[in-house]
Amino acid sequence: MRTTISFLLSIQLLPACSPVEDDPSRDPPGQPADDDGADAPADSGTTADPELDDDGGAEGSSDESSSDGGDVDEVPCDGMCVATAPPQWQGPAALIRSDGSVPAPSCGTSHPLAITTLFSDLVAAPAECECGCAPAEDVACDNAQATVSDGLGCVDASATFDIDAGCTNAPAGTGYWSVEFLPQGGECAPIGGMSVPEIDYARWTLCGANELEGACAESETCTPMPLAPFEPGMCIWIDGDVPCPTERFTERQLAHGEIVDTRGCSECTCGAPEGTCEGGVVQMDLSANCPGGLSWEAEHGECLAGESYFESARVTQSATPIVSCAPSPVASVGSATLLGPVTVCCEPELR
């Protein structure tokens, strides 16, 4: 009986020793008792973390480097870094060298922007020239010339007389007479021939490209790598015949901006028609005023065998001209010339 009463007393006293409302929350089982948040501010329901900022992020972890212009890793050049052209120079640009006998290439592939075309290594043969004359036109054999000579066979001429279709009393004298028709007037048209050989030269086609994004040195730009048909490396150029820069662009060649071709031939001309006449008749009368009684019907080129005396004459039948014209000599003139010197300097180490 004594034992039972003691047990009941202990049960009744237990609630008075452990009030639930005044007991602070404990950590989960197994948590050390001194980590129970007893030092936390009284007005906070969460555990304070001194390493967190007001936004809940860790102290020092904000993106200030990007927002205030801090260093950011640069993108590497996805091409090639090429030195910029010195002052007064143009370029750099990619180059296609081609033969002038083939069509000019177009800019494309890696460098589509056409900039300029230059020329070098010019070879030009002289023009080949010819000159001839067309058949003579408007030549007449209407008039003749009578000649009186002292010697047999109409040699040692002493006087000549012009004879036409009208009667003339001019021919007078005794001797050996001959008659000759002479071609008069007319002309020949020149026929010139000229062949100008093709010129041989090297063509320089310089093309550019848009600059690429990417990091290069301060004095360089990021440009695409030259792809076929462009040559490796890049070139710069300047008007005039000057030395190349001492660095980078050191392979020098003198090109030109223009080809002027003045090759041709001297003028082809024709001389006056020359030759003789064929046929024709002259009436030579022994008396004045061409009566036609006692006369000699002299043909072109005929010589009267004996001495005779005449006082008048006239052409009764015209002759036919047999003539031609002599062409003038012609020669090649002019030349093909490169004008406007341009110094081109390229990167030799990339060729």
Are the C-beta atoms of residues 180 and 320 closer than 8 Å to each other? no
pTM of structure: 0.61
3-class SS of residue 16 = helix
Best CA proximity match to 37, nearest among 21, 53, 29, 48: 48
Please answer whether residues 336 and 202 qualify as being in contact, where contact means their C-beta atoms are separated by less than 8 angstroms. Answer: no
155-163 sheet: strands from edge to edge: 155-163, 144-151, 173-181, 308-310
CA distances 132 to 57, 101, 135, 170, 267, Å, are 103, 32, 10, 41, 11
Beta strand 128-133 with 144-151 is unpaired
**351 residues of the chain, pLDDT tens digit each:** 333 323 222 333 333 333 334 443 433 333 333 444 334 333 433 334 434 344 444 344 334 433 444 444 578 898 999 999 999 999 999 999 999 999 999 999 999 999 999 999 999 999 999 999 999 999 999 999 999 999 999 999 999 999 999 999 988 788 999 999 999 999 999 999 999 999 999 999 999 999 998 899 988 999 999 999 999 889 999 999 999 998 889 999 999 999 999 999 999 999 999 999 999 999 999 999 999 877 899 999 999 888 889 999 999 999 999 999 999 999 999 999 999 999 999 998 544
Distance CA 351, CA 51 (A): 60
CB-based burial label for 329 (10 Å; 0-12, 13-18, 19+):
exposed
Domains of the chain: 80-126+197-261+337-350 (no CATH), 132-190+269-324 (2.60.20)
